[in-house]
Amino acid sequence: MPKVLEEIITAEKAGTKMLAVLIDPEKFDCSTAQKFLREMPFLTTHIFIGGSTCTPEAVEECTKAIKAETHLPVVLFPGDHQQISGKADALLFLSLLSGRNPDYLIGQQVRSVPLISKTRLEIIPTAYLLIDGGKETAVQRASKTQPLPQKDVQQIVDTAMAGKYMGKRLIYLEAGSGANIPVAAGIISAVKEAVQLPVIVGGGIRTKEQLEAAYRAGANMVVIGTAFEKGYFFL
């Protein structure tokens, strides 16, 4: 399989938009994997697996069930250092740059190394920015960090640029799962213009209009979890 990051960069250059469906192993019934994948929007390009609080066993079992049923790239989007499965194709190696909790800037990352080194996962350095989604979200609770206010556009851009200078290959703008307000178009476009890297946007996107607005603003990939978990397939 071609490298996941290379494909994302190629799609970005070609202007092809990507859609990732996020599966939280804690809420997912593995016996429904085949049905879930069959009902997924046909535009889906990636499957993300991860959650703020799920167990390593649930991640392993879910990844195995999904991989058995799809040829789409399966990418781990871990909530902590134990959410690693060698059965996936790639791992978003996240640093929560919006926060000031050292555990989510470097601690979890160091603790994940013994697990990662037992796998052949493609590692994708990713700047992860939590942005206020209008309610307290699981990421905020788990990481004990504050989101960046949506009005602080320059601070968000500067944080994303710091991620680029650190060598991150992707910028992930996250409003938090189930957010009331997705990341605003103005933030996406300002970040995209500055970083010139693939930009992923997720959190609170539950309508076709919101999805298209994110793409128009410059998001290369949109991640949707809750809307699909609830069986709300709007595409």
Enumerate the known binding-site residues for sn-glycerol 1-phosphate: 172-178, 203-204, 225-226
Is the Cβ of residue 110 or residue 212 nearer to ligand 1GP in the bound state? 212
- Interacting residues of 102 by C-beta distance below 8 A, sequence separation 6+: none
Using CB under 6 A as the binding rule, whether residue 202 contacts ligand 1GP is answered as yes
E strands in the chain? 18-23, 46-49, 74-76, 90-96, 122-130, 170-174, 199-202, 221-224
Among 95, 177, 210, 220, binds ligand 1GP (CB under 6 A): 177
Binding-site size for ligand 1GP (CB under 6 A) equals 15
48: β partners? 22, 75
Among 51, 79, 147, 204, binds ligand 1GP (CB under 6 A): 204
What does residue 176 show for φ and ψ, rounded to 5 degrees?
A: 100, 140
Tell me if residue 22 falls in helix, strand or coil. strand
| Of residues 81, 32, 31, 77, the one with CA closest to residue 56 | 81
Select the span of 9-17, 66-74, 157-165, 197-205 touching ligand 1GP (CB under 6 A): 197-205
Among 205, 214, 219, 221, binds ligand 1GP (CB under 6 A): 205
Could you tell me the two tokens for 205?
């996107």
Is the Cβ of residue 13 or residue 212 nearer to ligand 1GP in the bound state? 212
Is the Cβ of residue 87 or residue 176 nearer to ligand 1GP in the bound state? 176
List residues binding ligand 1GP (CB under 6 A): 22, 174, 176-179, 202-205, 223-227
